[in-house]
Amino acid sequence: MAKIHNSIVDLIGNTPLLELSRYAEKHNLPARLIGKVEYFNPVGSIKDRIAWAIIDDAERKGELKPGQLIVDITSGNTGIALAAIAAARGYRAKFYLGDNTSPDKERIIRAFGADVVSVPNSLFLDPSALEQLFARAESENPGSFIANQLGNPVNPQKHYETTGPEIWADTDGQVDFLVGGVGTGGTVSGAGKYLKERNPDLKVIVIEPGESSLPSEDNVYPHEIDGVHKVDGIEAELLPDNYDIAIADEIVPVEADAGYATARELARTEGLLIGSSAGAIVNAATIIAARPENAGKTVVAVLPDTGERYLSVGVFDDPEA
């Protein structure tokens, strides 16, 4: 029978694992380094998974009505995924984005017919910024459905049900490290929980931006690892609700420029065009894979999105050119 799908949501998940063999050989890595290439999702990122999970859950509960407005705060990828699925299912969408968000991401969100509200990046220097933004979103959009990717529990649950099992199945259970970042915390928390239940010795490695890659009063717009947040030393109440602080076995800081350089290197050694967070995740995974005690082990790095969303912000510009 012909395999013809009825909706883009039917295409979400079952993304491939790719061994980064040429890159690993170049760096003389004693461990296997494997990327989970999430840009194979239909709208181009790992956030397709949670966007559909959130909408599907709300529909099942009767919280979403035909034509209703979906609202959220996003650094881009979840907004893109929500906008696309909203369009496919007849909803309207509106998103609040920091004004440091890649212009490519904003254009894609608008292409799906969603509205965008730009928010100054300086706002996020205030620890209560997200609370303020959610209050603003609710007051400005009465009767809307707030997706709340940061706190909606179906986010990590979706990764527990799909991302983790996919990694386990595709490695035949031979996985020793999972490396990822914390945007909402859903990926490492959900997939990490699943994998640790199957292999209690598995280690979850969480990356975070280095100090010079974080906004400050002196530099509100540094080079950033898009959508990845600092977690070490942050008070629990200021972390995303979907991040399980007990899941991380090690936290590795990565500067944005190092992540950018790794993304450029992967483009030129593996033909793999990935985003800034994916570059930073592979940078940290390289550190783990290079340790002599990890020889022969398998390191899986989650590659959240495509590098096509960062062409206008200099990720792939040669700094020596």
pLDDT tens sequence across 62-110: 999 999 999 999 989 999 999 999 999 999 999 999 998 999 999 999 9
Cα separation of 136 and 96, whole Å?
10
pLDDT (mean) for 197-217? 95
Q: What is the residue-averaged pLDDT of the chain?
A: 95
Residue 203: beta bridge partners? 177
**Residues of the chain with pLDDT > 90: what percent?**
87
**Does domain 8-40+154-313 fall into CATH 3.40.50.1100?**
yes
Which pLDDT score, from 0 to 100, does residue 123 have? Answer: 85
Q: Is 47 a catalytic residue?
A: yes
Which pLDDT score, from 0 to 100, does residue 1 have? Answer: 62
Task: Decide whether 8-40+154-313 matches 47-146 in CATH topology.
Answer: yes
Of 47, 105, 158, 203, which residue is the catalytic one?
A: 47
Instruction: Spell out the CATH class of 47-146.
Output: alpha beta
Q: Is the pLDDT of residue 127 over 90?
A: no
Q: Is 277 a catalytic residue?
A: yes
Residue-wise pLDDT for 180-191, tens only, equals 999 999 999 999
Q: Residue ranges of the domains in the chain?
A: 8-40+154-313, 47-146
Q: Is the pLDDT of residue 122 over 90?
A: no
